[in-house]
Structure 1
Amino acid sequence: MRASVRVAAVLVRHELLLLGSLVRWVARRPQGTEKGRAFGYARGQGAVMFGLGFVCVVETVGLAVLLRGFPVVHHVFLVLDVYTVLMVAGLYASSVTRPHVLTRTDLRLRRFATVDLCIPLGSVASVRRELRMTDDKRESELDLAIGAQTSVTVDLAEPVEYTTFFGGRRTVRVVRFHADEADELVRELVLGRTGASSAE
């Protein structure tokens, strides 16, 4: 029972974050970018998300026509369909308003409203530009794929703890993620890592 309540709480929180991301998207206020440089990753999956949203809108209109003779059922499905469209839009909005952020001390990696991982620059052993398709993952690896691919690979000198969507914890030594400006991010990360090492 407690596990079910916890799962429900996580899902409700996630949906509230998506709705909040919609507000931030309209207001053009990205989250958590004040102390560093933002690197987006939404460009790689924008067409897919807009396509999915269009399909949901078409389905909403189609069901409205088919169920117009059944008012109660029509209203139930209308609410569900509109909510689905909002969630799809919120998912895309979260990818726009929650970019990766590189500061002088750490690299903050995010994906939608589900992943938020902070890696100290001192823990980075190496970083490289590497285009990879999503494949089988090892226990010590984390893939933050967009459009089934990643473009940057970070090897860690020491493991970093990662919190899963439902609150579980695991440690990772390799993190792969996508960035729209992957070359620039790798260059800045190498410079930042060198600066962090010198400071130590």
Structure 2
Amino acid sequence: MTGPRPLRRVVRWSLAALLPGELALVVCVLAGVRIPPAARLAVELAVLAVLVATGTLLALDHRRHRRAGLGRRQALGAAVADTVPAAVRRLTAHEIHLSTSFLRWITRRGPHGVREGDVPVPYASGQAAVMFCFLFASVLETVVLALLVPWPVVHLITLVVGVWGVYFVIALHASCVVRPHVVGADGSLRLRYGALLDVRIPAGRVLAARVDRRFPGTRPGAVDADGVAELAVGSQTTVTVELTEPVDFTRPLGRRARAGAFRLYAEDPAATVAALRAHAGLDRA
């Protein structure tokens, strides 16, 4: 990566320091706390300076990538990748996908990414009980803190965090409902866990599929020593899919992984295996 390294370092550290400060300032204003005009002006000027520096850095990187032969959209994406850390980009994209999934869920627009001839494979019901417990705990915690905390600023902060926590639990479950696994009409397979994980297995890459109930204790997308990726829901999987050759995919926090088989959870494992065998032509093999 070339370019103004000192400016890039200043922008990254400044974003990490100033954005929480701006959020704290907004919370204090909403809580009715009097902020000295000089302090408010200093924070706003600092945020403006960081935004100007970020815009300058993006413009320089964009021009550099354009000179290297990239198109405008590709150059913009490369410039953002140079400036914004991968984890921040993924977390931002995850929040956006959570919001769009929540809107799709409440408007009943149907599953995302399912085309004509595809077979959706739902899995969200496997974690419904756990999500309900999380939701109940979040609501209870928000109410208790709202009643016990006497200080206005802390009261508002805990209320905002509590409401966001309730929304996050609902949106996470909604993303799992509207983003099911998909058996493609062409024999491809798309494995997902809400907006956190999206694995695409091309047509012709599926070797075998079978009903296989297991109870792993790993996180979604974890790959064991045998090259098998676990996509457990509610700490269980019900279907095992073996591939002709491994596929690469991105784990929830941005790490790359490679797996030659996948264990996933499906609400109806027998129907899932039957659909996969029919669309992938395994019965004719």
Same fold (TM over 0.5): yes
Query: TM-score, normalization: structure 2?
Result: 0.65
How many pairs are equivalent? 197
With a CA cutoff of 8 Å and minimum separation of 6, indicate the structure with the bigger relative contact order: 1
- The structural deviation recorded for 1:145 is 0.2
Q: Which residue of 2 aligns with 1:112?
A: 194
**Alpha-carbon distance between aligned partners in 2 of 1:134 and 1:45, rounded to the nearest angstrom:** 14
Q: Which residue of 2 aligns with 1:163?
A: 250
Match for 1:75 among 156, 170, 174? 156
Residue 227 of structure 2 aligns with an amino acid whose one-letter code is: S
Q: Which residue of 2 aligns with 1:41?
A: 123
Q: Which residue of 1 aligns with 2:205?
A: 123
Residue 233 of structure 2 aligns with an amino acid whose one-letter code is: I
Query: TM-score, normalization: structure 1?
Result: 0.91
- CA 1:103–1:4 in 2, change beyond 3 Å: closer, same or farther? closer
Match for 1:10 among 81, 90, 112? 90
- The structural deviation recorded for 1:21 is 1.2
Q: Which residue of 1 aligns with 2:141?
A: 59
Residue 63 of structure 1 aligns with an amino acid whose one-letter code is: L
Match for 1:87 among 168, 172, 178? 168
**Alpha-carbon distance between aligned partners in 2 of 1:170 and 1:55, rounded to the nearest angstrom:** 34
Superposed CA deviations along residues 107-131 of structure 1, whole A, max 9, x for unmatched, are 1111111111111231111110000
Superposed CA deviations along residues 82-121 of structure 1, whole A, max 9, x for unmatched, are 0011111111001001001111221111111111111123
- The structural deviation recorded for 1:8 is 1.9
SS for the counterpart of 1:138 is: coil
Higher Cα Rg, which structure: 2
SS for the counterpart of 1:122 is: coil
CA contact (8 A) 2:249 2:257 kept: yes
Q: Which residue of 2 aligns with 1:185?
A: 272
Q: Which residue of 2 aligns with 1:23?
A: 103
| Greater displacement, 161-170 / 18-27 | 161-170
**Alpha-carbon distance between aligned partners in 1 of 2:259 and 2:242, rounded to the nearest angstrom:** 9
- Asked if 1:32 corresponds to 2:119, the answer is no
- Asked if 1:149 corresponds to 2:247, the answer is no
- The structural deviation recorded for 1:51 is 1.4
Residue 138 of structure 1 aligns with an amino acid whose one-letter code is: A
Structure 1 runs (4+) deviating above 4 angstroms are 1-4, 195-198
Residue 124 of structure 2 aligns with an amino acid whose one-letter code is: A
**Alpha-carbon distance between aligned partners in 1 of 2:130 and 2:255, rounded to the nearest angstrom:** 29
What is the identity percentage for the equivalent residue pairs of Structure 1 and Structure 2? Answer: 38
**Alpha-carbon distance between aligned partners in 1 of 2:83 and 2:170, rounded to the nearest angstrom:** 29
CA contact (8 A) 1:122 1:196 kept: no
Report which of the two has the higher share of helix. Answer: 2
